[in-house]
Amino acid sequence: MPEQIPVQGSAQGPGQVCVAVVGATGVVGQEMLRILAERHFPVGELRLFASPRSQGRVISWDGGDGPRECTVEVLREGCFRGVDIVLMEVESPLSREWAPVAVREGAVVIDNSSAWRMDSAVPLVVSEVNPHALQTHQGIIANPNCTTMVLMPVLKPLDTAATIARVVVSSYQAVSGSGKAGIDALAVEIDKYGNDLHALARSGVTGVEPAQTVYPAAIAFNVIPACDDFADDGSCETKEERKLVAESRKILERPDLHVAATCVRVPVIAAHSMSVNVEFRDKMPAAKAREILAAAPGVILAGNGPTGFSTPLHVAGTDSTHVGRLRDDETRPNTIDCFIVGDNLRKGAALNCVEIAELLLKNAALRLC
């Protein structure tokens, strides 16, 4: 029996483009397939690629014109001939190897790895924030890191209104940011340690070790103050933190922007959260920021008061960045605080890739390089 992607789009006419999803059997790849169906993307032919261990798997996908049984293929020379758009969800070394191959064979690549994000010749795009950057693409378009992605729809309209001088971000990142392995690690550890919660309350708990090698410490009932590997220059910064800084500057076209980041892994399945302190060069009271964000595309503004916030469980499976706890920072002029939450698998990865593809089709001049 073929595997089912449990989403169907509405009925539509014949598709118009050939779409390839590379990494189709992974967590984000499967989300891409769901979103393609949900948004009725005009898929004429769907090609699925994954690692050799998934070769030959049959996945059933229904974009609204009836179910299709797609056999998973492996990457090989010539495999992208006839493909218009490639949604690529693989590790950076594979992207560096295969994205140029896809472009040579006539496709446009929308890549979700870090391989191309800081390449000056490759646009780094958030659909609501800088779609104009697509005008310069040469066949490869980079999708930002999931944390950066969730943050940008909030920062962009604020920066336009009253130039941002400095941003301090503390992230609380879900285990799905580490893929299926992160989810599995949390599940195993909850099962292993969850039956003796009182033992976890004593000082200096011993014997609680990571059940798998995904994280350097147990993630269940814990937080780990590091996401990704540490930089090898003795700075005590992680690569995730550096991505957030560098990508924010590139997307906002603000190379002078001061960004300080601390990225933390938390025992949440889906949706990254951030506590954000934003200092402006110009006057920007919280009341004005609320007006701006209430009208910002891709942003949902929570109310004030005891329920004026969203949580990962509120936003998991949704498409927008949620912002709440919006208030003036009484310790610094022209500074506000807020709490931001967004689904790292959808808004932070798969959705933006599909939205970029939609923008390519909307402007026929961008469709092919």
Say whether both 336 and 362 belong to one domain. Answer: no
If you write DSSP's letter for every residue of 33-47 in order, what string do you get?
HHHHHHTT--EEEEE
Say whether both 85 and 182 belong to one domain. Answer: no
pTM of the predicted model as reported, rounded to 2 decimal places: 0.90
User: Has residue 5 got a pLDDT over 80?
Assistant: no
How far is the C-alpha of 324 from the C-alpha of 273, rounded, in Å?
11
Identify any residues that bridge with 9 across adjacent strands, giving them in sequence order. Answer: none
Q: Give the per-residue pLDDT at 252.
A: 98
Say whether both 83 and 194 belong to one domain. Answer: no
The two structure tokens encoding residue 122: 């490759």
Tens digit of pLDDT for each residue in 77-88? Answer: 999 999 999 999
Tens digit of pLDDT for each residue in 253-265? Answer: 999 999 999 999 9
User: Has residue 14 got a pLDDT over 70?
Assistant: no
Q: Give the per-residue pLDDT at 190.
A: 92
Closest C-alpha to 193, from 217, 170, 160: 217
Say whether both 189 and 331 belong to one domain. Answer: yes
Q: Give the per-residue pLDDT at 309.
A: 83
Average pLDDT over residues 327-338: 96
CATH number for position 19: 3.40.50.720
Tell me the pLDDT band of 367, cut-offs 50, 70 and 90. very low
| 221 Ramachandran zone, left/alpha/beta (phi>0; psi -120 to 50) | left
Cα dist from 260 to 49, 251, 321, whole Å:
38, 16, 20
Q: For 269, phi and psi rounded to 5 degrees?
A: -75, -55
| 79 contacts 18 by C-beta, under 8 angstroms | no
Identify any residues that bridge with 300 across adjacent strands, giving them in sequence order. Answer: 322
Show Cβ contacts of residue 327 under 8 Å, excluding neighbours closer than 6 positions: 286, 336, 337, 338
Say whether both 133 and 27 belong to one domain. Answer: yes
User: Has residue 304 got a pLDDT over 90?
Assistant: no
Q: For 4, phi and psi rounded to 5 degrees?
A: -105, 135
The two structure tokens encoding residue 46: 């769907």
- Catalytic annotation, pick one of 146, 227, 263, 338: 146
User: Has residue 365 got a pLDDT over 60?
Assistant: no
User: Has residue 12 got a pLDDT over 80?
Assistant: no
Q: Give the per-residue pLDDT at 195.
A: 83
Owner of token pair 């378009």 = 141
Owner of token pair 């990457």 = 75
Say whether both 229 and 360 belong to one domain. Answer: no
Tens digit of pLDDT for each residue in 199-234? Answer: 777 756 667 778 778 999 999 999 999 998 888 898
Q: For 169, phi and psi rounded to 5 degrees?
A: -120, 130
Average pLDDT over residues 268-281: 97
CA torsion angle 240 186 170 28 (round to 10): 50
The number of folded domains in the chain is 2
Say whether both 114 and 191 belong to one domain. Answer: no
Say whether both 170 and 114 belong to one domain. Answer: no
Q: Give the per-residue pLDDT at 203.
A: 57
CATH number for position 240: 3.30.360.10
Q: Give the per-residue pLDDT at 4.
A: 42
Say whether both 128 and 162 belong to one domain. Answer: no
- Catalytic annotation, pick one of 137, 263, 272, 338: 272
Tens digit of pLDDT for each residue in 153-209? Answer: 999 999 999 999 999 999 999 999 998 899 999 999 999 888 878 777 775 666 777
How far is the C-alpha of 174 from the C-alpha of 185, rounded, in Å?
12
Q: Give the per-residue pLDDT at 138.
A: 94
Per the annotation, the verdict on 146 as an active-site residue is yes
The two structure tokens encoding residue 351: 């959705």
How far is the C-alpha of 352 from the C-alpha of 248, rounded, in Å?
16
Say whether both 336 and 197 belong to one domain. Answer: yes
User: Using the 8-state DSSP alphabet, how is residue 272 labeled?
Assistant: E
Show Cβ contacts of residue 282 under 8 Å, excluding neighbours closer than 6 positions: 162, 163, 334
Per the annotation, the verdict on 314 as an active-site residue is no
Question: 208 by DSSP, 3-state: which?
Answer: coil
Q: Give the per-residue pLDDT at 63.
A: 84
Q: What is the mean pLDDT of the chain?
A: 90
Mutual orientation of helices 239-252 and 146-161 as an angle, nearest 10°?
40
The residue range of the domain holding 93 is: 3-144+349-366
| 234 Ramachandran zone, left/alpha/beta (phi>0; psi -120 to 50) | left
Q: Give the per-residue pLDDT at 204.
A: 63
Say whether both 191 and 286 belong to one domain. Answer: yes
Q: Give the per-residue pLDDT at 279.
A: 98
How far is the C-alpha of 355 from the C-alpha of 182, rounded, in Å?
26
Say whether both 243 and 303 belong to one domain. Answer: yes
